[in-house]
Chains A and B, each alone.
Chain A
């Protein structure tokens, strides 16, 4: 008797444990000829309602959507390393270039006729999903065009122009912007800062350039092209002039800084609108947006890919193509604030709607114009590692001599490249 009870317990335990690992394909509902596709995304990367609509749109596909929380990249990597349980469709963030060396683990989307819809998308965005070998692994999702966010009232008090057009005219270069920053600093006796943090100066200048750290052939050009040095020097100049509030993004410091009027402006991607509105409710109506000094850039934005393990890549591609078509991208702009990578959406009324937080200004127009003008540029798979080294040294500029800091960072990058 006793033994039987124990065997039963063990049997149940085994069933429970194995039950955890059974795949969603075992769903009895899908047994009728329907193919099953699993889609991985993170919260707010795709509109949930649109995914529901996709299920109606493709009656022959059993679409299993899985919202992956936590460290998405690590979870994807470990799943791919295990070569088991990979999704059929996966959203990739702006770290897509890290996957380029593993391009053979993904389908070339050109195989399924991606080229046919190429002209519906921003060219520079499209190129970011294509590996140096010309294989397209990432299909464009949203983008992150950048612009200058500024406080109209603080600019007015400091005697700076306030109209978006005029602000852009006076602050069209980073150097002009820095001069305006000095004016503002003087007007407020150093109590208000022109910019949020040093890393954001550096990031934004790099994002505007057509050259980053590498050529598509894989050569390191961070030491030879002027962009990097200029971005570094400008960041240091902002720091030395005392124009920076030292408030890092996603910290209570930043939230308090924008809400209490300590930060008068910053350059940021379109998705910064949301954290700004959430952090600074007391300043509603006082912010404006204009084209960024130094040109238009892009920060962030995502892609969709099909891992090679998928058994139905054709159908998976059809789902991707539908989800990210111009019409649906516009829907996702409305519902989830994802900025389209399809220029045809930029003329719609939704994008040109005024926003009360920005004093009724239609900021979408500014970002749309910015998105159209982003330079095509190549990142390279080691961009995140190298950029990480540079920003680490830049953040420590207060404790280092700026001139030697750059050389030190370059030496560290050199070591990084030999790894």
Chain B
């Protein structure tokens, strides 16, 4: 069908006005709460603004400050480190959990599925407070247990690696079950005939895992890698509650979003905060793209 000229288009819209009205709430809400803030933050990124006073044009000063601020790069580095420490074990555990849940010899499957998913729906603030009690330097549960076994105590929240370990373990604890449920759905969609055929051909369990399960799960793995990349880059509540607005000793737990939050809402550089937001957008986009390329692999070409 040829594209109708403008007047006809308008006529067409008018004819279907009831339908358009019905779908309009989403577009209106999106325009107000989605599109406008995005556009405004781009505008804000080139301005200096303390939140109340006059907005003054600042050109590229915000972005050049960001690119030359060691604390920003530290935050980027921290975010990546925590992402690596958390995502790789998390997806690995999730795959194992999903595989076990899928195994025919496991009983009470629904109970385990709910159990593994449960951490994901608990409040992050509550989780952070519990983990703070776990990792506390002097009266932490972890140090108490280590003391019982006569192991040297660790001032977890005073050393950079301890801070990162604490944050990563929170992410792993919270998201393993979620990813396991997604993997489980993926596993269930793989036809059992493939495994049977492999068995007849004399394949071992490990062989069929690597030759059948993993390749067929690839789209699902890709999905979890992308979502955990986005989630990992946006880490905020965990370090904020656990370590405060400065990301703990030496800023070892300062993530990009926590940095953004501190610079805009604590230090009142709202224009700069918008710049950091856009910087983060570019980083996430680039990083997701790289991850996608890696996980997709050369074989799918």
Hey, which bits of chain A sit against chain B, CB under 8 A? 3, 6, 10, 71, 73-74, 77-78, 80-81, 98-99, 101-102, 105, 245-248, 251-253, 256-257, 260, 262, 384-385, 388, 391-392, 395-396, 398-400, 415, 419
20 CB < 8 A contacts A-B = A98-B50, A99-B52, A101-B50, A102-B52, A105-B52, A245-B138, A246-B137, A247-B138, A248-B244, A251-B132, A251-B136, A252-B132, A256-B138, A388-B266, A396-B249, A396-B250, A396-B251, A398-B158, A415-B69, A419-B272
In the complex, the answer to whether A392 meets B52 with C-beta atoms within 8 Å is: no
Kindly list chain B residues whose C-beta atoms are within 8 Å of the C-beta of A384.
266-267
Give the docked Cα–Cα distance between A85 and B173 (Å): 42
In the complex, the answer to whether A252 meets B267 with C-beta atoms within 8 Å is: no
Give the docked Cα–Cα distance between A252 and B160 (Å): 20
- Return the contact of B138 from the options A262, A388, A391 (Cβ within 8 A): A262
In the complex, the answer to whether A392 meets B246 with C-beta atoms within 8 Å is: yes
In the complex, the answer to whether A252 meets B133 with C-beta atoms within 8 Å is: yes
Kindly list chain A residues whose C-beta atoms are within 8 Å of the C-beta of B251.
392, 396
Hey, which bits of chain B sit against chain A, CB under 8 A? 18, 21-22, 48, 50-53, 61, 65, 69, 132-133, 136-139, 155, 158, 160, 244, 246, 249-251, 265-269, 272
Give the docked Cα–Cα distance between A33 and B266 (Å): 41
Contacts A80-B52, A252-B132; A419 near B269 (Cβ below 8 A):
yes
- Return the contact of B249 from the options A71, A98, A257, A399 (Cβ within 8 A): A399
In the complex, the answer to whether B136 meets A253 with C-beta atoms within 8 Å is: yes
Kindly list chain A residues whose C-beta atoms are within 8 Å of the C-beta of B244.
248
In the complex, the answer to whether A256 meets B246 with C-beta atoms within 8 Å is: no
Contacts A253-B138, A398-B158; A81 near B269 (Cβ below 8 A):
no
- Return the contact of B158 from the options A246, A257, A391 (Cβ within 8 A): A246
Contacts A105-B52, A253-B138; A388 near B246 (Cβ below 8 A):
yes
Kindly list chain B residues whose C-beta atoms are within 8 Å of the C-beta of A247.
138
Kindly list chain A residues whose C-beta atoms are within 8 Å of the C-beta of B18.
3
Give the docked Cα–Cα distance between A239 and B39 (Å): 48
Residues of A contacting B: mostly: helix
In the complex, the answer to whether B268 meets A98 with C-beta atoms within 8 Å is: yes
Give the docked Cα–Cα distance between A99 and B268 (Å): 10
In the complex, the answer to whether A102 meets B53 with C-beta atoms within 8 Å is: yes
In the complex, the answer to whether B52 meets A81 with C-beta atoms within 8 Å is: yes
CB closest chain-A residue, reference B267: A385
Name the 3 nearest CB pairs between A and B, nearest first.
Answer: A396-B250, A77-B51, A256-B139
Most buried by A among B52, B65, B250, B265: B52
Give the docked Cα–Cα distance between A399 and B161 (Å): 13
In the complex, the answer to whether B137 meets A253 with C-beta atoms within 8 Å is: yes
In the complex, the answer to whether B249 meets A78 with C-beta atoms within 8 Å is: no
CB distance from A301 to the nearest CB of B (A): 19
Give the docked Cα–Cα distance between A256 and B141 (Å): 13
Kindly list chain B residues whose C-beta atoms are within 8 Å of the C-beta of A400.
250
Give the docked Cα–Cα distance between A251 and B131 (Å): 12
CB distance from A236 to the nearest CB of B (A): 15
CB distance from B44 to the nearest CB of A (A): 11
CB distance from B192 to the nearest CB of A (A): 47
Kindly list chain A residues whose C-beta atoms are within 8 Å of the C-beta of B250.
395-396, 399-400
Kindly list chain B residues whose C-beta atoms are within 8 Å of the C-beta of A98.
50, 268
Kindly list chain B residues whose C-beta atoms are within 8 Å of the C-beta of A388.
246, 266-267
Contacts A252-B133, A395-B246, A398-B249; A74 near B50 (Cβ below 8 A):
no
Give the docked Cα–Cα distance between A98 and B51 (Å): 10
CB closest chain-A residue, reference B68: A415
Contacts A74-B265, A384-B266; A252 near B139 (Cβ below 8 A):
yes
- Return the contact of A395 from the options B48, B138, B249 (Cβ within 8 A): B249
Kindly list chain B residues whose C-beta atoms are within 8 Å of the C-beta of A251.
132, 136
CB closest chain-B residue, reference A83: B52
CB closest chain-A residue, reference B155: A246
Kindly list chain A residues whose C-beta atoms are within 8 Å of the C-beta of B22.
6
Kindly list chain A residues whose C-beta atoms are within 8 Å of the C-beta of B158.
246, 398
Give the docked Cα–Cα distance between A252 and B128 (Å): 13
